[in-house]
Chain A
């Protein structure tokens, strides 16, 4: 039996079906992500696990105990909210000590535990500061500290990095990964950012309209997408129907299949001959170049790390892909 079992969960808001007979199993110590576009049900699922919403049907079983109908106070889960949800009228210390005080732990013990966790998130010097004086990144770390100090069975992240600047986001992401490795708490991470999910997770569930489109490791999701939705959402795959696949790659697909290739697995070459592929736009990003190509009615994306190659907009090019990188998707 898995550590956390999400069994057949369904949830409706009015007529809107948010989760549809969803089942996921999460092993102890895993860093597990729910990945999907907005409205796919990922946050609702997280809130059901926390006890902030209750499912219409199905069960949540944590470590062999059915917690489906337990209120949030009775569950041992910590949440890091998207907006951090820090208590604005309390200091850093008071925020972190809040849950411990409710547990009726002695003042000296609380002090010790808060100090220890502040050490972990590198905020010892900010202990007595007011929340409103902290930067976004610091607030995010206080929020994390407040959750882990309770030593929860599960820690839930609700898009915790979406309010941070790009450079801070990378830093905070590494910080979360480091802490999770260190503490080994089972973590569930909700995000719509595939690069975040791919880099952080042991396993990912890609959610689509309330069902799990695919569950697997980062590599499985990225290199072996289960359907067109996953391929497009996670890897930004290029798609080719039967005719184009045959014309471009001499690759024959079955009638009901389409060929899918990652942008970085396509390559372009200069040609003197007339070709049906032209360069529409070139986006130079330093370590790589992204080419936007026009092929008949479709727009294709190619990413090349050979960023010193010389192409200009309007060039006719030859497109190629190695056979083993061509996926077939139903």
Chain B
């Protein structure tokens, strides 16, 4: 081992430690300290309001998991086993909600089903009010079923079809085979998707905030406590929310590890040949078509709203004049363009931060495990279990006075608090992606490089990095998508000059400037779609090795 390599490793370790301690451990400690700052805050936990908020959050999460699972698994089953026309087009369509950040989703549903919504104008119903639990659950299902569709769809594809056939030849019916052979194979991916959905629902803010009314959830309760400057109450609630999330995470992880290894089969997995007749094929097409229309309607409403003059929705009837005026207003007016610039800048900085820290973590963790490495790994994964609202509270409590990690300034209220919050929220995603990429590399490839005389750093740069490049790219894009439309933490951290595109959407909505809000929503949606599209192309292109 050369001395040069040791220095590189020391520098990286220091950088990682600075980030981990300064922006994860220290803020969490501040949260704990703040929760004890005033006497009697913990007594409030036994308050009826806290109990109700807690119950509501958990109930909402459970309903979201079950509902999304039913939709997602059902769709995945149809796409895997039924033959129908335009399948690949529809499989892209059903993933569209992924490109819609929560706040934009809320807006889409408001335009479609809200008080003056487009659909309500078409249908002669006056008593229907899109609000409360129904609205929140609808939005959650809309946002979360793609997780199940993706996870379970992948599991279906990896399913060894010969065990299904073996079950048939042993006399099992299709239904019996589904629940006693197929379902157990899907269990790991079902658990994975449930975990993500549960945590996302617990942390969900936008939909409960807009549609919740008087119904309090933990996230909204924290927000209102903070707005009322009741820091210690906010801290106590934050700790409660974090504990529930992390307990659930731990429970499912334990349950997943308890399961025996599945899918350990050799031999080729045969593609499934469907014996269905035309009738079934048309029925499947019909179901998928209706579903896709339902998925598309909120997005279509958003596009229509962005193209019609302000206030058109208030007038009766559906005769609109279409123009690009709303978009022009954004791009002519400097003030209106600023949120867009803020969002792009903070997301790009967040990506760079997560990339630097994520790669450094991967580099120092690679190789033999020890206590220090395991500790870093756990802490880096921690923000994954912490809702965005709580991360925002932690950062506020930590950086409202100058200290070492804020570089002796007050970070709260500045632009820099946003990319830091996004980076903390997304560091688990990026380091997970990098780690998964590293895991897939056969160690003998790196050993081969070493025996050919390459230093560790050279091997890392010339062999390892190019191999994990697709994982890094995918991780970074996820970070961008999450940051670009981020609302939950931003709403607590922004000020007028640093407001981001999703905060602007919210404030324009409150001012009843539907057109501008819709135009912003369309821009967010299109940018995310474009990025997803570009990344798919980049990932399917054969990798070039000439840039070593």
- A: which residues have CB within 8 A of B? 50-54, 71-73, 75, 77-79, 81-89, 98-99, 102-103, 130, 132, 136, 146, 150, 163
Cα of A199 to Cα of B81 in the assembled complex, Å: 40
A96 to chain B: closest residue by CB: B170
25 A-B pairs within 8 Å (CB atoms) are namely A50-B165, A52-B168, A73-B173, A75-B169, A78-B169, A79-B166, A82-B162, A82-B267, A83-B265, A83-B266, A83-B268, A85-B162, A85-B163, A86-B163, A86-B166, A87-B181, A88-B261, A89-B260, A89-B262, A130-B260, A132-B264, A146-B166, A146-B170, A150-B170, A150-B171
Is there a chain A Cβ closer than 8 Å to B311's Cβ?
A: no
Cα of A27 to Cα of B443 in the assembled complex, Å: 54
In the assembled complex, which residues on chain A have CB atoms less than 8 Å from the CB atom of B267? 81-83, 163
Is there a chain A Cβ closer than 8 Å to B514's Cβ?
A: no
* Residue from the list B165, B261, B262 in contact with A72, Cβ < 8 A: B165
Report yes or no: A132 in contact with B273, Cβ–Cβ below 8 A.
no
Contact residues of B between 163 and 185, Cβ < 8 Å to A: 163, 165-173, 176, 180-181, 184-185
Report yes or no: B263 in contact with A102, Cβ–Cβ below 8 A.
no
B172 to chain A: closest residue by CB: A102
Report yes or no: B266 in contact with A163, Cβ–Cβ below 8 A.
yes
Is there a chain A Cβ closer than 8 Å to B160's Cβ?
A: yes
Report yes or no: A132 in contact with B260, Cβ–Cβ below 8 A.
yes
Q: Report the minimum CB–CB distance from A71 to chain B (whole Å).
A: 7
List 3 A-B pairs, minimum CB-CB distance, nearest first: A83-B267, A99-B170, A85-B162
- B: which residues have CB within 8 A of A? 160, 162-163, 165-173, 176, 180-181, 184-185, 187, 259-268, 273, 275
In the assembled complex, which residues on chain A have CB atoms less than 8 Å from the CB atom of B265? 83-85, 88
In the assembled complex, which residues on chain B have CB atoms less than 8 Å from the CB atom of A75? 169
Report yes or no: A72 in contact with B168, Cβ–Cβ below 8 A.
yes
A163 to chain B: closest residue by CB: B266
A54 to chain B: closest residue by CB: B275
Cα of A84 to Cα of B266 in the assembled complex, Å: 8
Cα of A53 to Cα of B263 in the assembled complex, Å: 24
Q: Report the minimum CB–CB distance from B355 to chain A (whole Å).
A: 37
* Residue from the list B185, B262, B273 in contact with A53, Cβ < 8 A: B273
Report yes or no: A89 in contact with B185, Cβ–Cβ below 8 A.
yes
Q: Report the minimum CB–CB distance from A201 to chain B (whole Å).
A: 22
Chain B binding site: helix, strand, loop or mixed by DSSP? loop
In the assembled complex, which residues on chain B have CB atoms less than 8 Å from the CB atom of A150? 170-171
Cα of A73 to Cα of B169 in the assembled complex, Å: 5
Cα of A75 to Cα of B171 in the assembled complex, Å: 8
Q: Report the minimum CB–CB distance from A143 to chain B (whole Å).
A: 8
Q: Report the minimum CB–CB distance from B132 to chain A (whole Å).
A: 41
Q: Report the minimum CB–CB distance from A132 to chain B (whole Å).
A: 5
Cα of A52 to Cα of B163 in the assembled complex, Å: 12
Cα of A160 to Cα of B133 in the assembled complex, Å: 56
* Residue from the list B170, B171, B173, B262 in contact with A88, Cβ < 8 A: B262
Please name 15 further chain A to chain B contacts, defined as beta carbons within 8 Å, in addition to the given A87-B167, A87-B181, sorted by A numbering.
Answer: A50-B169, A53-B273, A71-B168, A72-B168, A72-B169, A77-B169, A78-B169, A85-B160, A85-B265, A88-B163, A88-B260, A88-B261, A89-B187, A146-B166, A163-B266
Cα of A54 to Cα of B505 in the assembled complex, Å: 58
Q: Report the minimum CB–CB distance from A306 to chain B (whole Å).
A: 41
In the assembled complex, which residues on chain B have CB atoms less than 8 Å from the CB atom of A86? 163, 166
A94 to chain B: closest residue by CB: B180
B265 to chain A: closest residue by CB: A83
Q: Report the minimum CB–CB distance from B172 to chain A (whole Å).
A: 5
Report yes or no: B260 in contact with A85, Cβ–Cβ below 8 A.
no
In the assembled complex, which residues on chain A have CB atoms less than 8 Å from the CB atom of B262? 88-89
Q: A86-B163, A88-B262 are in contact. Are A103 and B169 (CB under 8 A)?
A: no
Q: A85-B160, A88-B261 are in contact. Are A98 and B167 (CB under 8 A)?
A: yes
Report yes or no: B273 in contact with A102, Cβ–Cβ below 8 A.
no
Cα of A51 to Cα of B165 in the assembled complex, Å: 10
Report yes or no: B160 in contact with A103, Cβ–Cβ below 8 A.
no
In the assembled complex, which residues on chain A have CB atoms less than 8 Å from the CB atom of B176? 102
Q: A99-B171, A132-B260 are in contact. Are A79 and B165 (CB under 8 A)?
A: yes
Report yes or no: A79 in contact with B169, Cβ–Cβ below 8 A.
yes
Taking each of A84, A88, A98, which has the highest tally of chain B beta carbons within 10 Å of its own beta carbon?
A: A88
Cα of A77 to Cα of B166 in the assembled complex, Å: 10
Cα of A67 to Cα of B286 in the assembled complex, Å: 34
A72 to chain B: closest residue by CB: B168
Report yes or no: A52 in contact with B260, Cβ–Cβ below 8 A.
no
In the assembled complex, which residues on chain B have CB atoms less than 8 Å from the CB atom of A83? 160, 162, 265-268
Cα of A53 to Cα of B259 in the assembled complex, Å: 33
Cα of A103 to Cα of B170 in the assembled complex, Å: 9
Report yes or no: A102 in contact with B163, Cβ–Cβ below 8 A.
no
Cα of A24 to Cα of B465 in the assembled complex, Å: 58
Q: Report the minimum CB–CB distance from A241 to chain B (whole Å).
A: 40
Cα of A144 to Cα of B163 in the assembled complex, Å: 14
* Residue from the list B166, B260, B263, B275 in contact with A81, Cβ < 8 A: B166
Cα of A42 to Cα of B228 in the assembled complex, Å: 76
B163 to chain A: closest residue by CB: A85
B187 to chain A: closest residue by CB: A89
Report yes or no: A132 in contact with B261, Cβ–Cβ below 8 A.
yes
A86 to chain B: closest residue by CB: B163
